[in-house]
Amino acid sequence: MFTFAKTTLLLLALAGLTACCAFRKETIPVVRVAPNASGIEIQKSEEHGPRSLMPFECASLKDYPHAPSGVCLTLARQQAFHAADSELGSLEVVSLENPKRYFLLSDSISQWKAILNGGKSAADLKQWLYQKQVSEIPWVNAGRGFHGKLRTHTYPWGKAILFLTAYAQGKTGGALGNDMLVLTVQGLTHDGRYAVRGHFEIRHPKLPDSGDREKRKVYFDFDEESAKAGQWLDRQPDGSFRPTFAQYEAFLQALEIKPPRSR
């Protein structure tokens, strides 16, 4: 239900696509967050070059990476989960200067530009994002189950769309919990040179935390009730989440993407 990458990989392999060697040098911007009152803290910041996010079985695609060069900010944990595999929040800023070098990137840029420039109602946009599973930048090897609390925003650095979701590959066999819930941010800088993607930790007190999925709280079977979960999340006040939407929006407002260093 939620996987979509395997067919595309096979089509690319059959087409005999290989990475081209003659690419422009990518640039990595200076990314920082100015002092702000959000309470969101950065744990570490790391620059990286082009990379693949999963091993390829197809020899013709082994040099065809997913993620362009960029900077990844890892956010400090807001609340401890007993699920050891629950992920930390992160914000990544990646180069769009060589789109043809990367898996699905050219199409993704065009699609996100159309999304950020408007033209669809929130309801239509949610349905379209779910059905098309528009690839994020950088690419994610999983599908999104819903798109709750969706909104767009213009920041000093560019435009972005924000929504609550949970990611899966195939059937999860479980319920939606706070360890699965993610606030996703996908944006493009005003100059079009960089994509900004955040996967932020967020939770709601009525959802189970993780693991045992306590049914005495609000319970949604993720495989069968993901749409219903998204609708329920839509009805919850922005301030009922932890951290709140206002905190993350203040954090994104303070984000600075300055002229790049040459690589």
So where are the chain's domains?
Answer: 5-262
Which one is predicted more confidently, 68 or 122? 68
Give me the chain's average pLDDT, please.
83
Nearest alpha carbon to residue 180 among 87, 244, 245: 87
Helix then strand then coil, in percent of the chain rounded to 5, is 25, 30, 45
Assess whether pLDDT exceeds 90 at residue 12.
no
The percent of residues above 90 in pLDDT, for the chain, comes to 53
- Chain-centroid distance of CA 187 in Å reads 10
DSSP conformation class of 234: H
User: What span, in angstroms and rounded, lies between the C-alpha atoms of 163 and 151?
Assistant: 7
pLDDT digits (tens, 9 = 90+) for 201-219: 999 999 988 755 566 678 8
pTM of the model: 0.85
* pLDDT tens-digit series, residues 36-57: 999 999 999 999 999 886 654 4
Tell me the pLDDT tens digit for each residue of 224-246: 899 999 999 999 999 999 999 99
Compute the average pLDDT of residues 93-104.
91
Which residues are CB-neighbours of 110 under 8 A, at least 6 positions away? none
- The pLDDT assigned to 123 comes to 79
d(CA 52, CA 210): 29
